[in-house]
Amino acid sequence: MSQAQPEQAIELLLRRFVPKPERAFAALIERGSAGTTCAFSRGLSEESAQSLLLSEAEHAIVQQARMLTLEGASIDDSSLVAGLTQADRAKIRTLHLIAVGEPSQPIGVFATTALYPTGASAGRQASLAKRLVAGVTARLRGERALREREAELRLTSEMLDLRAVADQRYGNPVGLIEAFLAALAPKVAADAAALFLFARDGSTPGPAVARFGGPEVPGVSARWKQYEETLARFAVAVDRPRAIDAKELPRYGIESLMGSVLLLPLRRDDQVIGVTVLSRGKPIPLTPMEQSLATWAAEFLAHAIPRVLSQAVFERQARQDGLTGLANRREWDRCYSAAFDEAFRTGAPVSILLCDLDRFKVLNDTFGHRAGDETLRIVARTFQDQVFRTRASDPALIARYGGEELAVLLPGFEAAGAFRIAEAIRQAVQETVVSTDGNELRATVSIGLATFPAHADSAEVLVARADMALYEAKMTGRNRVCSAGPLDRPAPAERPSSRRTVRHDPSLFK
């Protein structure tokens, strides 16, 4: 049997049920190992057909009943209508779901908004519909087997292409990963791909080790990257591939830009060491073949290139604080210098926050260093949660500045915007409870803020002004945010010779 024969039979079936596609629709929804997909349709827009899904529970109900007719509220409760456009949703008055295949060997579900012949009794229409669907079942099995063989051949070909990319020589390990992601993304129709590695304790992923694609508009690009980082933090607890559709994304604070995501954990020696985030702008899930290729690619990265990942881990750990997972002081100095130079060149603002945990020495002396370490980790995570909710035009950086001091770099932020972020951090830390060794501890933080060009005209003076503001926050009662100057106009810059000259009372920082 040629491939055209089953397709012609299915097209004929669709035309019988939907002679006027502007008024009704019908679709064959196939179920495979990766879920359901719309294999054939008539009367549906391309967007609806690509988004058409049927939950596993609803599929099982239809297979058991052999045919279901949905009306009224039951239509809204069906998983099938969730991805339809408004125009296609308006075509539904009654929705008929007919099982395709035997219960022991299900193929899927035939969905139609119309039965025929018009004017016949409901019983006769239902009986005819089931016979017509049964009549094409054998052809569907043959057509499905053919498509599966073609998909296997294509999958093998795509794997060989990706292996060829990995076999090439690159100047550094990260370059190999970037090239691999650049080759993978278009093969699975992803708009962006990013690879994150987890900290040594299996938590707190930092910035992406490598990424490809995504929007090119600066503000939109920064927001997309923040969404990727949010998803990577969630993926710390994910040990198998996880697809997230448009309905789920708002749970992670993603209300726009992204339409579907696939999280691919990187496993090595029974340990999840990182995650690859594949994302699309449109609310269209990956096909089973695309998911299979993406899953293989993640396994290939984690197992077939251990040297690459080990080197990437090493390079990342060289930039990361081992306790908190934040950037370390060396990485802060590098990023701060680059951000200030860019701000000085373009005239754009840049703000910094210098933050110090209040009475941290007392906490350490009273509850022990383990409680102090756990407090620092929890506070660092609180900082990340608050900063990553902002609308920065460039990515923010959070670093462990030294001891119990943290620092936040906010490119593109005027003083007023930076103050709002600082206040959100202060309040969130104040409300955070740290549970350790049977104790429930609370911490507070004092924050000094300074902005270029409003408060300083050089990188060194900007840090000194933020340090002076931090000292003021400590002197005036702790657990507060102080600015180096007014939030709405420039202030004259002062030039203390070093950071120590502004710390008159060391006991304030204990």
Specify the pLDDT at position 308: 62
Whole-number pLDDT of residue 21: 94
The segment(s) of the chain belonging to CATH 3.30.70.270 are 329-509
Residue ranges of alpha helices (H) inside 388-495 are: 415-431, 459-475
CATH annotation of 329-509? 3.30.70.270
CA–CA distance, 270 with 280 (Å, rounded to integer): 29
In angstroms, how far is the first alpha carbon of the chain from the final one?
A: 82
Q: What is the DSSP letter of 249?
A: G
Q: What is the CATH number of domain 173-315?
A: 3.30.450.40
Q: Which tens digits make up the pLDDT trace of 339-358?
A: 999 999 999 999 999 999 99
**Which one-letter DSSP state was computed for residue 300?**
I
Contact 180, 299 (CB under 8 A): no
Which pLDDT score, from 0 to 100, does residue 4 have? Answer: 45
pLDDT at residue 216, rounded to an integer: 81
| 64-74: burial string, b at 16+ Cβ within 10 Å, e else | eeebbebeeee
Helices (H) and strands (E) in the chain, counts: 15, 17
* pLDDT for 204: 58
- Residue type at 73 in one-letter notation: A
Residue type, 390: T
Q: Give the model's pLDDT for residue 34.
A: 60
Confidence at residue 490, expressed as pLDDT on a 0 to 100 scale: 45
User: Which one, of 456, 458, 342, lies nearest residue 394 by Cα?
Assistant: 342
Domain with CATH 3.30.450.40 in the chain: 4-148, 173-315
Stretches in the chain below the pLDDT threshold 70: 1-6, 33-35, 199-206, 218, 304-317, 390-394, 488-510
Do residues 21 and 42 make contact, with C-beta atoms less than 8 angstroms apart?
A: yes
Report how far residue 459's alpha carbon sits from residue 41's, in angstroms, rounded to the nearest whole number: 61
**pLDDT recorded at residue 488:** 61
* CB-CB neighbours of 352 under 10 Å: 30
Q: What is the per-residue pLDDT for 2? A: 42
Sequence-ordered list of residues with C-beta below 8 angstroms from that of 128, at least 6 positions apart, any chain:
115, 116, 117, 120
Look up the CATH architecture of domain 4-148: 2-Layer Sandwich (3.30)
- The amino acid that residue 178 corresponds to is E
Indicate the pTM of the whole model.
0.51
